[in-house]
Amino acid sequence: MKTFLKWLFFVVVGLLLITVLIGYFYHQPLPKGQEGAAADQLARKMEVAVNKAAWDTTKWVRWTYAGRNTFVWDKDRSLVKVNTGNQEVLIDISTQEGKAWEAGQRLKGEDEKSAVKTAWFYFCNDSFWLCAPMKAFDPGVERKIVQTPKDGEALLVTYDAGGVTPGDSYLWILDENGRPNAWKMWVSIIPIGGLETSWENWTTLSGGSSIALSHKIAGLKLEVTNLKAGMHFEDLDFEKDPFQPLF
């Protein structure tokens, strides 16, 4: 027993040292930038590059993120359907309330509230990875222009409100046309600041907006699959309104 505890102690200490070393070598401080017209202009350039105007008029979107959660988003009515594992959850985004089923059976009470809350978290996170370039002018967002030695002008976006982790910041690295190549993150759930994630494998939806299907971070690849958009639920291969149980 003493030998086991001794080895456990060394393993824990070793992991802590590895974490500290990784943080020391890879952590970057949040850069300082300049607010104002130049930052807003760069953000608008990014919006044009991804055709945010077309995204705003798209009413229905379906996608799967990282192979785990599948969403159907009725943007016009602010409703979302989340399928993860054997659970299906319907949520009214404006109220964050909804209904949940597991293996086809309606959940009740605290079980349903917990399922709705978890599905809401998944939607906030996974939709952000889908359409973050469209959200630079959301309420509570600060925009700053940052001069970087490697990539020139970059756009620092900080979300002071909204979502489930307000205060997170992202530094967009843009190409010459304003389309994102990558971002660097300073987020509450990751202790190392400045981790870079690619935005690549861009595709154009039927309405004309552009979506990045692949993201690479620290050797991990996150992909958007099963992506389809349209103006009606029939465009997503539904025979009837999937949100009928909410009404």
pLDDT at 81 over 80: yes
**Is 79 in a helix, a strand, or coil?**
strand
Instruction: Give residue 26's pLDDT.
Output: 65
Sequence spans of domains, the chain: 35-246
For residue range 2-23, list pLDDT tens digits in order.
443 334 333 333 333 333 334 4
The answer to whether 192 touches 217, Cβ cutoff 8 Å, is no
What amino acid is encoded at 230 in this protein?
A: G
Q: What is the dihedral of CA 32, 33, 35, 40, to 10 degrees?
A: -140
CA angle 221, 84, 185 (to 5 degrees): 40
Instruction: Give residue 8's pLDDT.
Output: 37
For residue range 117-172, list pLDDT tens digits in order.
999 999 999 999 999 999 999 999 999 999 998 889 999 999 987 666 778 999 99
Average pLDDT over residues 56-79: 97
Average predicted confidence (pLDDT) for the chain: 89
Domain 35-246, second-level architecture? Clam (2.50)
Q: Which among 99, 91, 145 has a CA at the least distance from the CA of 123?
A: 91
